[in-house]
Structure formats: C-alpha cells, structure tokens
Structure 1
C-alpha cells in the first residue's frame, strides 16, 4: 500500500462543504446503523488507545459516537433510538474535529472540521509515528482495501484529480469486526441513567466536557470481548478526563472562537496549537506514505 498524502489530508478533514456536487460523501450515513452525530470519518480507537490518551493527559481530545437503532436491536434514550447490544447502547470513541483553517487539494483556505492532531499549515499529523498514533490511522486505507471498500484517497482523486492511492495492495490489513470488536473498539454503556441528557446534546452537537468524559471513561474501563466495565478503571479514567487541560482542549476552544470571526489562515496553527505545547510537524521534503 502506498499513498500520496501531500496537500491532501482527506481522511483527516471533513471536506463535504467543498466537495463537487457529483462526488458522493455520504458513506457514513448509509446502512442500518447511521451515526447519531454528524462528524465525518471518525477514527475508532481501541480500549488500549483510549487509556493511553487518558494517561497522557489528552482525554479532552476524545469524543464518542453512538448510532441510530433503525433496523436492529436498540434502546431509547432522550427520545433517540440507539443501536444496542444486550440492551446496552453501543459506541465508538474517536478524535474530535474542531473547525480549522485548512487548504487541502489546492483549494483556497477555508474553515473545515479537522482532526485535533492535524497541523493546518502542513496538513500533517502532529502525532504521526508517536506511540499515541492510532492503529486505524497507521493502517489506513488498508482496511478499506481489504474489504474492497471505497477509500478517501479515491474520493479525492475523483473530486480533484491527481494520484493519491499509488498502490492498492491491502497488505496484511486485518479489519477488526464485531463480535470480536466488542470491548475492543465497540463499547457498551452499562447504565442508561448516566447518559440521559448527554445523548440529546451529542445529537445536537453541543456535548460538554462532562458528557464526553462519561463515554471515554466507560471505554477506558472496557475489556475486549466482554460487555462489562471495570468500575475502578472507569472512575480513575473519568477523573483524569475531567481534569485534562491539554493543548488540544485549549486549541479546540480557540479554533471555535476564531472560526466565528476571523478569515481562515492556516499559519495560525503555530499560534493556536504550537504555542500551547503541540508538537511540530516535519514538512513534506522527501516524504511519502508507505505500508
């Protein structure tokens, strides 16, 4: 597998607002389980990865995803039918996408929902190659290729031309699918009463830090292959997420405020992120992604 990522980041950015009308980007809204939220290309983290982010003080970088329960087992919370396993609402945990000033695909800079770890200036991941770099990101688009599913690389090619997917060999990609994913990447919340009110805010896109912490803590207390949650791990993780005050959380708030009033300038990444402690990115000289 070989990809040309320079000037792209289509898998890290919600680029629906700038996509040509004849390019369909509704792949996350199809099928029996549609996301409750409107985030695009949410990266599913494993329970180990969730715990690592929480341990490193980056719990404020994480957000949950639930699914609508149309056409399958479900439970109702806050008036929403949610996909469930054994009566427990199921969810992923991924990375937040605040608005950032980015200029992908050769376009003019614009405000687009963008992964918290993407440098808006270089369009490179700030944790690429780091111990925290998600496995799903490292394998992408290998899982899609292994499943013969469309990739973001190919969607970008259709929309803006150029060559992004240079080698479509899936390699040793082994997508993690249910039921083995339960407790590993797919989590089940054990108590409806603890998410009442939270589900409604998640659906509206107005989730609070406390709302996200509840789901992240459940994921941190999960065990692969099981539905139950370790109470001690849950409590410690919840406290850690609520106490998190990382550069990510600070940047998310500042990006949201700037997006309301300022012109999009990708160079602001240095001020909004790096000045608050974000790691820098190397630039693209001699760089190419291979797996």
Structure 2
C-alpha cells in the first residue's frame, strides 16, 4: 500500500472535534463499542503477548460492545454487553490519551492520540520495530479488501489533498473475520462477575491499570478458534501487565493530567511538551519527514 501520511495520522488520532459533522463510522453498526475511543486498533494475541513481554502492558486497553439483536449478552453494572454464551467478548488495542497535535495543517489541539504517536512529527515511535502491530502494518489494506471506506478517504473528504495514493487492495491483506477471529483478535472473558465495577469505569473513561491488565491477561492466554483460556498463562500475563511501568504508560498518565489542567486554564496545546513527557522517559525518536 502507498499512502501519504505526512501531516496526517488520521488513523492514529481522534480528529472528530476538528470537523462540524464528524463521521462516527464505528458507531453505525448494530454493535457499537462501549468506549468512545476512535479507531481503536485490534491487536492479535501475539501482538498482545509481545507488548507485555516488552514491558508495555500498561499501554493496552480493552474494547467491549453493546449486543445486536439476537446476540448472546450478559448484564454488567446495568449495561448489556455482547457475549459468546455467558462470556463477554472484547478485543485489546493501544491506549489513546489526549496529546497536543496539529494534523492536516490545523492549529495544535488536545486530541486523543495513540500512545506511541509522536505528537510533534505525527509519526509512530515503534513503526520500524518488531512491536509494530500487524493491523497497523496492513492498514488500509484491510478496508480496501473489504471494499470499505478508509480513514485516508475520510480525511480527503474533510480536508482535501491526496492521502490514499494506491487504492488497490494488497493480495496479502490478512483480514480476520467471523469465527476465525475468535482467540486471535476477539476474546472471551471467562467470568462476567469479575467485571462488576469495571464496565462502569470503562463507560466513564476511568479504567484502572488492574482493569486493563485483567483483559490483557485473558487475551494473551486465549487459544485460537475457541473461548478457552489457559489459567497459568493468564495469571502470568495479567500480573505482568498490571506491574508494567513503561514510558508509554507513564506518559499517558501525565498527558491526561496536562490536558485536564489545560482545559481548566483555557491554555493552548504545546507540541514541544513531547520531549519532556515522552522522550525524557525513554520514548524512541522519529526520523521526521523529508
């Protein structure tokens, strides 16, 4: 795939506040997500394990859905949650804390942005590493293979310019849909009762690290094609995710606090804060655009 990502990162941040009539495509279907995160990237089981193994368990977060008509469902904290049997279904993605960003030649604003995106260069800090998620690497190939609109095209419609340079779907677009996604990208939480209080915090945008780690452990311990979860591996990965203390996790906490303080004081967004908040904590630098 050939795309023009310079000055964009439309698939890596929530740019809905920049337009008068935002395209909330993730909430059109019969199963809207319970969270309000935009373009949350679904990680594979192997992606999840690699992030935790590399110390980034605190950069991951879950997504659950409202059930469609006819779906299995469980009720947690008074909310209906899509399920397989009595097991809530979810996937795991990368956290999107607010960061000061200026996509599409706009003024810098606080927008939810991928934990691994440099807010100054709008480049991924792990793009050339083994951690770069499979879904990110394949995008927008998946959408093209499914004949679905890409984020590149949404940005073009809203701001003009050319983002999707090559509109042909790649032959190796590894789309996982339906039953084949179970245990690979979509996981089943074994005991809905354990999520009492968690769904309420998810809806409020107040998930704790222990909440997120519980889902990470289940995803890492899941078996392909089934709802089975290996108990020992689940315990190991849950503990490691809960104990994680990466630059990305610490930066996310500071970004949230800085954004809240800026809103109270009506301060502008300063992209140069990335040096202090992320790079001084050990974030990899990005090459910039040539």
Fold equivalence (TM over 0.5)? yes
Task: Report what 2:273 is aligned to.
Answer: 268
Task: Report what 1:184 is aligned to.
Answer: 184
TM-score of the aligned structures, taking structure 2 as reference length: 0.96
State whether residues 62 and 93 of structure 1, in contact with CA within 8 Å, keep that contact through their aligned partners in structure 2: yes
* Residues in 2 aligned to 1:69 and 1:209: alpha-carbon distance in whole angstroms: 26
Structure 1: which 5+ runs fail to align? 286-291
CA shift for structure 1 position 70: 3.3
Task: Report what 2:285 is aligned to.
Answer: 280
Determine helix, strand or coil for the equivalent of 1:82: strand
2:239 pairs with 1:234: no
2:7 pairs with 1:7: yes
Task: Report what 1:117 is aligned to.
Answer: 116
State whether residues 73 and 88 of structure 2, in contact with CA within 8 Å, keep that contact through their aligned partners in structure 1: yes
Task: Report what 1:70 is aligned to.
Answer: 68
CA shift for structure 1 position 41: 0.1
Task: Report what 1:151 is aligned to.
Answer: 150
2:48 pairs with 1:50: yes
Structure 2: which 5+ runs fail to align? 263-267
Determine helix, strand or coil for the equivalent of 2:62: strand
* Residues in 1 aligned to 2:6 and 2:247: alpha-carbon distance in whole angstroms: 25
State whether residues 98 and 111 of structure 2, in contact with CA within 8 Å, keep that contact through their aligned partners in structure 1: yes
Task: Report what 1:33 is aligned to.
Answer: 31
CA shift for structure 1 position 199: 1.1
Structure 1 stretches (4+) deviating beyond 6 angstroms?
Answer: none
State whether residues 146 and 174 of structure 1, in contact with CA within 8 Å, keep that contact through their aligned partners in structure 2: no
* Residues in 2 aligned to 1:180 and 1:75: alpha-carbon distance in whole angstroms: 23
TM-score of the aligned structures, taking structure 1 as reference length: 0.95
Task: Report what 1:201 is aligned to.
Answer: 201
CA shift for structure 1 position 76: 1.0
Bigger shift: 237-246 or 118-127?
237-246
CA RMSD across the alignment:
0.9
